Amino acid sequence: MKIILNNNNKELVNKVMEYGGKRVYECFQCGMCASGCPVASDTEHKIKRTMHQVTLGLEEQIMDKKAIWLCTTCFMCLERCPQNAEPTEVVFALRRVSAENGIIPEAQIEVANNIYHLGHAVTVEKGIKLRNKVNAPLLKTAGSDKKYIDEIQKLIDSTHSYSLLRIEKDWKPKRDDVIGCD
Amino acid sequence: MAVTNYALYTGCIIPLRYPDIENSIRETMPLLGANVYDMVGAGCCPPGGAFWSVDEISGLIQSARNISIAEFMEKDLVAVCNGCFCYLKNTNMMLKSDKEKREKVNTILNNVGRKYQGTISVYHLVEILHDHIGIEKIKNSIKLNLDGVKAAVHYGCHLLRPSDHLMAENPEKPHKLDALVEALGLESVYYPKKLSCCGAGGGMRGNNPEVTLKILEKKLMNIKYSEPDCIVTACPFCFLQFDLGQKGLREKGEDFCIPVFYYNQLLGLSMGLPKNRIAVLSETPRDGFIKKYYGVE
């Protein structure tokens, strides 16, 4: 495959830097990031390669595989990078670019819709049944009262995440499972 | 006994999937001189995998809203989940130092009648137990010593990293949760790659059930190396990954059945609190462990 580098390739790296991956140019490809990565050996997410691809402007190669969404955000790469190039922040920035292009996994959309409509990342109804089972006190968090959910909705409505995370007005939670995105 | 008051930020998983863990926190902490109060109306932290991954400001405003509730209570916030701790503390650090972002956040928060002021600190429960309360007090609070029982301690990622922001622990050589576990008499055993991820975070558990189990299996193989009697963590999402994940692996014919505890559940049992409120909900059986070592059914 032929790779042609020209000024257009700077678009990606500029965007990544604007979206939080400020130190991506510090990377000198030592590989410490990948050595501690929990997903490197089992997935297509290769953080060392991704860092290089960003500075080369290879946007399609990064986005096509959707591998940036396989990061568990454990921050081991960021912790161990001797250049402090903050690889995890580069992954977050790439996710923000990807979301702008409309590429975002289902689980993220599900969690965001749960939070928007229920005040929590998981379903509340099942939670209240479990609370009753163990005699936990009355729930007082956002999920306990519509007025708090309205407040959270108002906040989310005023940001880009409302459209990026495809918030639906009529949302029925799909499953009681903990999808979890922390 | 000196009493300290905290705003208890429970998050999503503990109050809505493992409320017995919430009970264990609510019942053990006051016995150690740390009163915890409800943060009425608190929402999701929110998680890094969703809101932070698409738009920083939408993460910041939801976190700042939660922090403003604790500020209104005039109490420091204690997070009982690693993910919540990481993102709330990160927000607090960022907004305390970055005036431009703080103003942007407050303009939006103003629409719902809230304001971020930067007047409180965000702590993880492990910091409260280890740094504020102290090992001696915990040792003196227990009725039953689990001398000789082996525990595999799992810190989880977002209690440790990024350490520049969180500053809760030494990221390469943490010791606080080990010390807390040993205060109950248990032996915290060495196992390889102790600081590695459980495989749940970042959206992995929801998006890729196969990969999440693969990462967990590697983690568990390392844990098994030390033949522990239980796994102890202070993060409900790691707890869930070990609890449900081991069940998932058993369904594939793998032999993983190590009892998992959130720290305060073990602490509560050691204090003599009733099991039926604080250690009930789990898919990987724990009753055998509890009966054998605590003598309660």
Residues A17 and A94 in one domain: yes
Hey, what are B19's tokens? Answer: 């409320």
Q: Is A176 inside any structural domain?
A: no
Residues A69 and A12 in one domain: yes
Which residues on A lie below 8 Å from B195 (Cβ)?
76
Is B55 within 8 Å of A181 when comparing Cβ atoms? Answer: no
Residues A150 and A68 in one domain: no
Q: Is the pLDDT of residue A149 over 90?
A: yes
In this predicted structure, what is the pLDDT of residue B234? 98
- CA distances to A152, B7, B104 from A157, rounded to whole Å, are 9, 28, 15
Is B109 within 8 Å of A155 when comparing Cβ atoms? Answer: yes
Domain harbouring A11, CATH code: 1.10.1060.10
Q: Is A76 inside any structural domain?
A: yes
Q: Which domain holds residue A45?
A: 7-100
Q: Is A126 inside any structural domain?
A: yes
Q: Is the pLDDT of residue A4 over 90?
A: no
pLDDT averaged over every residue in chain A:
93
Q: Is A177 inside any structural domain?
A: no
Q: Is A151 inside any structural domain?
A: yes
Q: Is A85 inside any structural domain?
A: yes
In this predicted structure, what is the pLDDT of residue B203? 84
pLDDT averaged over every residue in chain B:
96
Average pLDDT over residues B57-76: 98
Residues A76 and A116 in one domain: no
Residues A18 and A84 in one domain: yes
Q: Are B17 and A130 in contact (CB under 8 A)?
A: yes
pLDDT in tens, B157-213: 999 999 999 999 999 999 999 999 999 999 999 999 999 999 998 888 888 999 999
Residues A29 and A84 in one domain: yes
Residues A143 and A158 in one domain: yes
Q: Is A71 inside any structural domain?
A: yes
Residues A95 and A122 in one domain: no
Does B47 or B61 have the greater pLDDT score?
B61
In this predicted structure, what is the pLDDT of residue A178? 81
Nearest CA distance, B208 vs chain A (angstrom) = 8
Phi, psi of B117 (to 5 degrees): -110, -25
Residues A63 and A123 in one domain: no
Closest alpha carbon to B91 in B54, B128, B127, B52: B52
Q: Nearest-CA residue of chain B relative to A177?
A: B206
In this predicted structure, what is the pLDDT of residue A181? 63
Lowest mean pLDDT among A90-99, A170-179, B92-101, B149-158: A170-179
- How many CB pairs below 8 Å do chains A and B form together? 257
- Give the pLDDT band (50/70/90) at residue A5: low
In this predicted structure, what is the pLDDT of residue A1? 61
- Give the pLDDT band (50/70/90) at residue A177: confident
Is B23 within 8 Å of A136 when comparing Cβ atoms? Answer: yes
Residues A112 and A79 in one domain: no
In this predicted structure, what is the pLDDT of residue A180? 64
Is A134 within 8 Å of B280 when comparing Cβ atoms? Answer: yes
Please give the distance of CA A39 from its chain centroid, rounded to a whole number: 15
What lies within 8 Å, CB to CB, of A173 at 6+ separation is A110, A113, A114, A117, A118, A123
Prediction ipTM score:
0.95
How many folded domains does chain A comprise?
A: 2
In this predicted structure, what is the pLDDT of residue A59? 93
Pairing between β-strand B76-79 and β-strand B34-38 as defined by DSSP bridges? unpaired
Query: What structural domains does chain B harbor?
Result: 4-125 (1.20.1050.140), 135-294 (3.40.50.11810)
Q: Is the pLDDT of residue A50 over 80?
A: yes
Q: Is the pLDDT of residue A176 over 90?
A: no
Residues A32 and A89 in one domain: yes
Q: Provide the 10 A C-beta neighbour count for residue B295.
A: 8
Domain C-terminal end among A100, A128, A155? A100
Residues A56 and A125 in one domain: no
Average pLDDT over residues A69-91: 97
Q: Is A42 inside any structural domain?
A: yes
Ramachandran quadrant class, A86 (left: phi over 0; alpha: psi -120 to 50; beta: rest):
left
Residues B288, B297: Cα–Cα separation, whole Å: 9
pLDDT in tens, B211-250: 999 999 999 999 999 999 999 999 999 999 999 999 999 9
Nearest CA distance, B188 vs chain A (angstrom) = 23
In this predicted structure, what is the pLDDT of residue A174? 84
Average pLDDT over residues A65-83: 95
- Across the interface, which of B49, B81, B111 has its CB nearest the CB of A73? B49
Q: Is the pLDDT of residue A125 over 70?
A: yes
Residue-wise over A39-50: b if at least 16 C-beta within 10 A, else e? bbebbebbbbbb
Domain C-terminal end among A60, A80, A100? A100
Hey, what are B116's tokens? Answer: 């971020």
pLDDT in tens, B76-119: 999 999 999 999 999 999 999 999 999 999 999 999 999 999 99
